[in-house]
Amino acid sequence: MKPARRRLLQGTAVLALPAPAWAASSAAPKVLRLASESETGFDPARVGDVRSLRITSHVFETLLEFDPLARPVKLRPRTAQAMPEPSADFRTWTVRLKPGIHFTPDPAFAATTRGAPRELVATDVAYSLKRLADPATRSPGWSAAEQVGLSGLAALRREAVEQKKPFDYDRPIPGLQVLDRHTLRFVLDAGRPRFPQWLASASTATVAREVIEAHGELSMQHPVGTGPFRLVEWRRSSRIVLERNPHYRSVLYDAEPAADDLEGQAILARLRGRRLPMVDRVEIDIIDEKQPMWLAFLNGDHDWVELPDGFLPVALPGGRLAPHLRRRGIRADSAVLPSTYYTMFNMEHPLVGGYTPERVALRRAIALAIDVPREVELLRHGSAVVAQSPVAVHLSGYDPGWKSEMSDYSPAKARALLELFGWRDRDGDGWRETPEGQPLVLEMATQPAQEMRRYDELMRRDMTAIGLRIRFQTAQWPEHYKAARAGKLMLWSVSGRASAPDGIEGLLRYEGKAAGGINLSRFDLPEMNATLARLQALPDGPEREALFDHAKRLTVAWMPYKLRTHLAATALLQPWLVGYRRPLFWNNWFESVDIEPQRRTDT
């Protein structure tokens, strides 16, 4: 069997790997076929977009995972032997790894293993979590890791930044103690009752140091993990192919749906005891335009599709699956997600940023002028809930009756606010100037997809109604994401999804230390930072709920983000796709579904 070979062609990774075991079988492989929008890469510490995390979560593994069927959600061990063991004050947690888990073979292991399988050990977990703090990694996951407070980790990062030297991975720190080959002890700066939730987040997935050091900046293109799949083909923004990892350990399907959960119980009865993954190959076509994605699904080219909002009236007229789809056995899976669509204001930008009254007034006026109800009705076709706060549905701290100015639409109030704080039309041309008398032009990042043009047209209409000029900067999503993290955009609309059921997930983008990571607005308010620290330390209960209320009010008062909607989503499933249930806080599901090839060919 030839060793894995790899070459780069114009930034596109092309992989040539040994043939999988099923290739020699007479049975046709089971292939799961999907469509997705553009990805950024496949290093779990370096990506933050759902499209890329959906891939990394099938190649790499975390210590813990969420039960695929349990509602409410439930954590369970994945590479850990059991759930973490806490101290009485929730500051110290001990985790033991399952022995006998191995990385997919890779040439990077040759010097250390001499051909033997490379086992996953405790030092791998410690190294992977340290990578989140390494400034060179530029990890979007650092903000969450910093909130967790592994003792000594922030100081290690600070030393690397201040002294401008490489991050010292070999220096022991109190927060990450390797007790033996398979045991870790985490020590936190403060008690964190919900610490285990973080150990299930995609950014904490375990990588191998040899692979990362062998490939350096190209780690985004060379994922090597312990998960059920391996990446065998990647044509950037075109095609991604995963294949069953032939070295994956024996894992059998199991879950704990509620007793009265008929759908979950039916899935469990059908799949319990099946070895994972159940499909041999996953082929993902990258399609950014919604109509081609929809047509490809109708043609049977894909087994699953996230239904574009514009096609909801066609696929689900009146909220019911269209008869022509029902006759074909197609199913719909709909849910409101713990996801928020928002417009960020760059708080370091001289026009829309800052904490002075007139800049706050400008952001709040823009927010009041954005017609979110019209967006929900016309552009999303009802497939969203107007957002009141960053604490989304399914999260602790979410109150469906909580109402704020965040959801208000009032051009009249917006105009009055602008007049009051000096954003006036001084030369009579119909457009407002700054309080300093300078031209006022908003610059908003957008993507070239046809769907985004409708959002841009609505935004232009809304801003024109209050006398604000706006122009749009068009680029692909990954380019804007990189620029936003670097603080180079003025305005951008994007969505973010919580990775755990704690309500703090929706508030972390307001943490000052998270600027350059999840905090795309670069908002930094001492009162908010202190509130978030208290939320992290408090146990669940009335005191914490009251603090959630205070934090939510701060987000409205300062308006670093105009929260627009909590997104609902509908996936359409072909009749031959078995076992799918929408993930809420996680991204891996390819290994938990099956394909019935005969039904596909009969359709």
Range of the domain at 206: 5-262
Per-residue model confidence (pLDDT) at position 19: 54
The whole-number pLDDT of residue 35 equals: 92
The whole-angstrom separation of Cα 591 and Cα 189 is 36
**386 in the same domain as 239:** no
The structural domain count of the chain equals 2
pLDDT digits (tens, 9 = 90+) for 473-490: 999 988 999 999 999 999
Closest listed residue to residue 215, CA positions, set 108, 66, 82: 108
Q: Is residue 149 part of a domain?
A: yes
Q: With respect to residue 352, please indicate whether it lies within any of the assigned structural domains.
A: yes
Report if residue 376 sits inside a domain. Answer: yes
Q: Are residues 258 and 341 in the same domain?
A: no
Q: Are residues 354 and 456 in the same domain?
A: yes
Q: Following CA atoms 347, 352, 358, 363 in sequence, which dihedral angle do they give, to the nearest 10 degrees?
A: -90
β pairing state of 561-573 and 594-595 = unpaired
- Please check whether residues 357 and 253 belong to one and the same domain: no
pLDDT value of residue 597: 87
The CATH number assigned to the domain holding 126 equals: 3.40.190.10
Asked if the structure places residue 583 within a domain, the reply is: no
User: What SS3 class is residue 463?
Assistant: helix
Q: Which of the residues in the chain have pLDDT under 50?
A: 1-16
Based on the fold, state whether residues 395 and 489 are members of the same structural domain: yes
CB 256 within 8 Å of CB 74: yes
For residues 341 and 256, membership in a common domain is answered with no
Domain-terminating residue out of 262, 286, 313: 262
246 and 361 housed in the same domain? no
Share above pLDDT 70 across residues of the chain, in percent, rounded to a whole number: 95
Residues 233 and 357 in one domain: no
Residue 116 counted as domain residue = yes
- Same domain for 396 and 490, yes or no, is yes
The CATH number of the domain holding residue 563 is: 3.10.105.10
Read off the tokens for 436.
């300093």
pTM for the whole thing?
Answer: 0.81
In this structure, the answer to whether residues 368 and 500 fall within a common structural domain is yes
Note every long-range contact of 174-179, with CB atoms under 8 Å and residues 24 or more positions apart, other chains counting.
175/149, 175/150, 175/151, 176/126, 176/129, 176/130, 176/150, 176/152, 178/122, 178/123, 178/126, 179/94, 179/122
Spatial contact of 121 and 19, defined as CB atoms under 8 Å apart = no
Cis bond before residue 277 (omega within 30° of 0):
yes
Does some domain include residue 475? yes
**What is the pLDDT, as a whole number, of residue 12?**
42
d(CA 559, CA 347): 10
Q: Is 123 contained in some domain?
A: yes
Last residue of a domain, one of 219, 247, 262: 262
Q: Is 404 helix (H, G, I), strand (E, B) or coil?
A: coil
Mark whether 249 and 370 lie in a shared domain.
no
Same-domain status, 18 and 101: yes
Facing residues of 305 across strands?
572
589 in any annotated domain:
no
pLDDT at 383: 87
Q: Which of 208, 234, 262 is the endpoint of a domain?
A: 262
